[in-house]
Amino acid sequence: MPLFTILTLFPDALEAYLDVGVVGTALHKGLLDVHCVDFRDWTRDRHRTVDDRPFGGGPGMVLKPEPVVECVEWLEAKYGTHRRLVLDPAGRPFRQADAEALANEPRTLLMCGRYEGFDARIYAELDLEPVSIGDFVLAGGELAALTIVEATARLVPGVLGDARSAVEDSFADGETVDHEHYTRPRVWRGREVPDVLLQGDHQRIAAWRAAQAAERTKARGDADRATPSKPGRNP
């Protein structure tokens, strides 16, 4: 059973989401375990200080190394060594293949930064893997951590009602986008379900879906190439 340990200053904010949907199903079935840990508990001053001003000046505050590293050391002494990921604007993009890999990891650590991020020495001390979920800015890594947990949870055997959902989804092969889906009613506001889906010819349906997926994948690639890239990547 995969274990995710999320280091965050706001564990209560994550608990409600973890209790519903795919992740909630995985937890209730005992197929996944998620611990939310507040690294503020490893501070030593009366104000429970986790951040300080950056050396060299500049805006914002930086998360201090002592409480973060001591928290991780305590966690791993109790639960065992984790694969250590940190949600970081400079991290490599998190892909479907990463979710597939984490579904087979016994323990994964997800570190959620705030303010101007973590003191750089934490990265070296803990040998962290920086990852990002996209080129946009959030206030912290919590939403990104939930994204990674959910992307992984649905790949754990037994979580989804139909295992084909994960196998046939977008990016299951690393790059192809899923085809369009339709349900009842057959006609809605003058828009009809494609006729090929109504004839019961599964060979034709499979061919249509494959062509659809290829067309949508190409359109997505064309849109990506047409969008100017900008520096910076979000947690």
User: What is the residue extent of each domain of the chain?
Assistant: 3-153, 176-226
- Has 209 been annotated as catalytic? no
Q: What is the pTM of this model?
A: 0.83
Confidence of residue 119 (pLDDT cuts 50, 70, 90): very high
Whether the bond between 130 and the residue before it is cis, its omega within 30 degrees of 0, is no
Residue partners of 140: CB distance under 8 A and separation at least 6: 8, 9, 10, 112, 113, 114, 235
Lowest mean pLDDT, pick from 6-15, 109-118, 119-128, 164-173:
164-173
Instruction: State mean pLDDT over 75-88.
Output: 96
Place of tokens 């890999």: 101
Nearest of 26, 234, 28 to residue 149 by alpha carbon: 26
- Has 169 been annotated as catalytic? yes
- Has 168 been annotated as catalytic? no
Asked if 3-153 and 176-226 have one fold, the answer is no
143-163 burial, b for 16+ CB within 10 Å, e for fewer?
Answer: bbbbbbbbbbbbbbeebbeee
- Residue 26 burial (CB < 10 Å; 0-12/13-18/19+)? buried
207-214's contacts with Cβ under 8 Å and 24+ in sequence apart are: 208/179, 209/179, 210/179, 212/179, 212/180, 213/176, 213/177, 213/178, 213/179, 214/176
The predicted-structure confidence for 141-157, as pLDDT tens digits, reads as follows: 999 999 999 999 999 99
43-72 burial, b for 16+ CB within 10 Å, e for fewer?
Answer: beeeeeebbeeeeeeeeeebbbbebbbebb
Percent of the chain with pLDDT over 90: 72
The predicted-structure confidence for 216-235, as pLDDT tens digits, reads as follows: 888 878 777 776 655 444 45
Number of Cβ within a 10 Å radius of residue 227: 9
Tell me yes or no: is domain 176-226 CATH 3.40.630.10.
Answer: no
Query: Is 15 within 8 Å of 36 (Cβ atoms)?
Result: yes
Report the amino acid identity of residue 162. Answer: D
Instruction: State mean pLDDT over 82-106.
Output: 95
Lowest mean pLDDT, pick from 11-15, 53-57, 127-131:
53-57
Report the amino acid identity of residue 134. Answer: G
Catalytic residue among 2, 11, 89, 235: 89
Catalytic residue among 119, 154, 233, 235: 154
Catalytic residue among 66, 116, 135, 168: 116
Residue partners of 23: CB distance under 8 A and separation at least 6: 17, 32, 34, 146, 149, 150, 153
The predicted-structure confidence for 172-217, as pLDDT tens digits, reads as follows: 666 788 888 899 899 999 999 999 999 999 999 999 999 998 998 8
- Has 154 been annotated as catalytic? yes
- What CATH number belongs to 3-153? 3.40.1280.10
Catalytic residue among 105, 129, 150, 169: 169
Whole-angstrom Cα distance, residue 150 to residue 163? 15
